[in-house]
Amino acid sequence: MHDIEIELAGKTFRIAGPSSRTADAISEALARNGAIVVDAAPADLLVVLFPLLPKGDGAPYPPLLADEGSRMVEAGGGRIVFVLSAMAALPVRGQADYSSAMAGALARVRTLAMELAPRVLVNAVGAGVIEDGDALVAGDRHMLGHASLGRAGRIDDIVNTVLFLCDPANTYTTGQILNVDGGWSVGYGRNF
């Protein structure tokens, strides 16, 4: 599968959150499309990754970076993309703490979208079951029983959605979560 190609020449980006194969893949794709990684704020593009496994390794939740959004506004604009679990929009029985944390992050996405508009677009990717080879990197395999596509996604599925949200041609999407979950979020139940 080919990654989406967008024009990011001259744009800067920063990745916030735990180090992971997903973070590396997003960073590689942004660079491949012409963006330049920076360590300092503000960047033109900020990708904020949250832990994507509900019973993960206890990776810390990243700061919600409101100050960086304000600096983007002062600099003329930008994009912030949060990478969350699809459980941000739909809670899962047995995952109350994780579902609540994700829902709180999604509320922050929507609040920032209102506060930083019209100069900064703020959106989220909601990851369902994502595998890297045989390793689970997002979601819970029980979710597959309610996913329309009946299979796990790949890290590239998340990366391509992040690229779509960062694409300069995408100018009218803000405050949204785009679920990359094989149809899990339109399923009939989440009793696992």
Residues forming the active site: 98
Q: How far apart are the first and last CA of the chain?
A: 32
Please give the Cα distance from 20 to 159 (Å, whole number).
13
In 3D space, the residue among 171, 175, 137, 140 whose CA is nearest the CA of residue 156 turns out to be: 137
Question: What are the tokens at 162?
Answer: 């992040």
Please give the Cα distance from 181 to 92 (Å, whole number).
14
Phi then psi dihedrals of residue 149, to 5 deg: -80, -15
Which stretches within 4-120 are classed as H helix? Answer: 21-32, 66-75, 96-116
Q: What is the CA radius of gyration of the chain?
A: 16
